[in-house]
Structure 1
Amino acid sequence: MNPFALLQNIAQRCRSHAADLPSPSEAVEYWRGVGFILAGKRYVAPMSDIGEILTSPKLTPVPGVKHWVQGVANVRGRLVPIMDLASFFGGRATSLRTQRTLIIEKGELLNGLVVDAVLGMQHFPVDSRQAVSSSGIPEKTLPFISGVYQRDGEQWPVFSFDALAKDEHYMDIAV
């Protein structure tokens, strides 16, 4: 048998024993967000809302403001007001060591929001988003929740920074 015929024979045997390619399945579209803990409860916020995640920046206190306004920080040459989100909702931070500041920029509003911890990127199938129910979500945060995802028996309320920015109580920081 010549070398060419041998190669053809090998190729034919390979094709006869080869498994079919799997059929293309439907691609699942995922929603991406950043998970965080606030007053001991898990939340997730859209990736598009969070510009940066920082460890506690150096703060300059601001007199005459509510207790949940921690001060102002210089973040890359921009003055950013830093707010303690747990204190705003009447709670307390659980651990200073794990606290992070989420830099949020919504239109002209630029804020740093202190949360208890950041849980990294979270992915959920887009079609698995559920309507908001009061079950398991603290009442004070309920107006700021735009939906809920479930994963492994855990509830992940979607925190709306748009709703927070429109809240009169949040925008009224003077004492």
Structure 2
Amino acid sequence: MANREALRELQIRLASRLQAARSEAVSVSSWLAVESAGERYLLPLVQSGEIFPWTSVQPVPYTRDWFLGVANLRGGLTGVVDLARLMGHLSVRSEQALAESSLLAFNAALEVNAALLVDRLAGLRGTEAFVRSEPPAGDAPDFFGTTYVEAGGTRWQELNLQVLSQHPAFLSIGA
């Protein structure tokens, strides 16, 4: 129960910060920062949807290991993708770790009925939080954007959810 209350408080803070950013009319890129399998990702706010606490997922047979199944989110069935496994990490989570994780739905404007399983929400980030940026490596997937580096050296990989949602590997859930 405490996890749900903490998630609700985070959602309220994120919503108020997003509203404040919109009202200031500042054209600064903003991201939702998440962590999954020890990796740090920046997800564009305009491509991100609602955040949900972990809920039971009904497995779907004959699908890739990163497609966990479907979950009932706000009365609709939503495909759940394990971000860590999609990125090639063989993460195994305990029941406790799953209880502390979140599901991040894609923005409805992307017309993808899916949510990403992430281990931890790390708040909002803007370009002012970083000291430098690097373009994606030549062999990086299409959906990798710029890598941003904080003053302490922590690296954050931007993920373009719109490009990810149309990527052939993402669309091919069959095993």
| Structure 1 runs not aligned, ≥5 long | 1-26
Q: What SS does the corresponding residue of 2:170 show, helix, strand or coil?
A: helix
2: CA distance, partners of 1:96 / 1:38? 12
What is the identity, as a one-letter code, of the residue corresponding to 1:114? L
Change (3 A) 1:169 1:57: same
**Structure 2 residue aligned with 1:73:** 71
**Structure 1 residue aligned with 2:111:** 108
Rg larger in 1 or in 2?
1
Q: What SS does the corresponding residue of 1:90 show, helix, strand or coil?
A: coil
Indicate if the aligned counterparts of 1:50 and 1:103 stay in contact, CA closer than 8 A: yes
Indicate if the aligned counterparts of 1:31 and 1:126 stay in contact, CA closer than 8 A: no
Change (3 A) 1:129 1:162: farther
2: CA distance, partners of 1:98 / 1:40? 15
**Structure 1 residue aligned with 2:144:** 145
Q: What SS does the corresponding residue of 1:125 show, helix, strand or coil?
A: helix
Structure (1 or 2) with the greater helix fraction: 2
2: CA distance, partners of 1:34 / 1:107? 17
| CA shift for structure 1 position 41 | 1.4
Indicate if the aligned counterparts of 1:43 and 1:159 stay in contact, CA closer than 8 A: yes
| CA shift for structure 1 position 84 | 0.8
Q: What SS does the corresponding residue of 2:29 show, helix, strand or coil?
A: strand
What is the identity, as a one-letter code, of the residue corresponding to 2:126? H
1: CA distance, partners of 2:169 / 2:157? 21
Alignment partner of 1:99 is 2:101? yes
1: CA distance, partners of 2:157 / 2:89? 17
Compute the RMSD of aligned alpha carbons.
2.8
Q: What SS does the corresponding residue of 1:146 show, helix, strand or coil?
A: strand
2: CA distance, partners of 1:40 / 1:30? 27
1: CA distance, partners of 2:120 / 2:68? 17
Identity percentage over the alignment?
27
Indicate if the aligned counterparts of 1:32 and 1:47 stay in contact, CA closer than 8 A: yes
Deviates more, 1:124-133 or 1:41-50: 124-133
